[in-house]
Amino acid sequence: MRIGPYLIENNLFLAPMAGVTDLPFRRLCKRLGAGVVVSEMVTSDPSLQNSRKTKLRLAQEPIDETEHEKFQLSHRVEPGLRVVQIAGGDAEILAQAAKMNAEKGAQVIDINMGCPAKKVCKKAAGSALLKDPKLVEEILIAVVNAVDIPVTLKIRTGWDKENKNAVQIAKIAEESGIQSLAVHGRTKACKYLGEAEHETVALVKQSINIPVIANGDITSPERAKQVLEYTGADGLMIGRAAQGRPWIFKEINHFLKHGNHMPLMEITEVANILIEHVESLHQFYGEQQGLRIARKHTSWYLKENEKDRNQNNRIFSNNFNLLTSANEQIQSLTDYFKQ
């Protein structure tokens, strides 16, 4: 599939997840089979554009050498297509944010109208915008006209189960010049509860001609194939299923191509991936912040790879969360996998 002039390596997308899909995680998922990786959602608020948090999320902008001396230039390069997701509820401000990011190196601007988080929706942003199709149209036209790079959109199926308007929003998006549309198979009210439904995604695909990407509960190669066949979607977007399992993209690509499962990963390969990930977090954020972020990622890896959470595993996790240096975390993981 294509997004504007860009031919996508494959049709698997890493979903943007605030606090998760930072540059180290994007680089890892790209190397392990994702066709496109999308930045964490960044605010369109101009007063926050120069904050450290926003700068770290905008990988195409060079990182301050004084804060990250160990993070080599090669590790600061965004992998593949540089897609930046922006959020907000004001058309003019979003247009300005899109233009700024394009000037800083973004190749695609993605607009978030899918986040169900209260702190986002209370500002009339994210999936809260689906309640106001007129404002949606105003925002999309403003952003598309502000930049000369492709603009994409991510939405949910609607506001709640009684008000599913994804098809209406999809048609507005296509008419406004949006280049591709990702649809999460839940409403804003559903948050992440229950199972995602893809009937609405299939209806969206039938109603527009731009590429449609299905998102929601794509947790296995079999599920990926089922959703593609059922919806007719052009691509798949994977979010929470990649936490602690970034190689899920490789597994799905193999299954879609060959119709069977790739061999199970050796424990040494899992160890190498996790340790590399933790080291890159230390380097990217600096030791103290990197330590905190490494804890949640490590917990996800252990839950994924140790289905039977035995007492020893729980003890390891508790002890790991108390470590106070990068060297201690790496040594602890090395010892864990040796056992």
Positions annotated as catalytic residues are 115
The whole-angstrom separation of Cα 129 and Cα 112 is 9
User: Tokens 């698997």 sit at which residue?
Assistant: 12
| Cα–Cα distance list, 63 to 23, 72, 76, 245, 298 (Å) | 11, 10, 8, 27, 25
The alpha carbon dihedral of 37, 59, 153, 116 has a sign of: positive
The whole-angstrom separation of Cα 281 and Cα 36 is 21
3-class SS of residue 212: strand
Type of residue numbered 209:
N
3-class SS of residue 151: strand
Q: Are strands 212-215 and 235-238 parallel, antiparallel or unpaired?
A: parallel
User: Tokens 């406004």 sit at which residue?
Assistant: 176
Chain Cα centroid distance, residue 13: 8
The whole-angstrom separation of Cα 220 and Cα 222 is 5
The whole-angstrom separation of Cα 41 and Cα 217 is 20
- 55 burial level (CB within 10 Å; 0-12, 13-18, 19+): middle
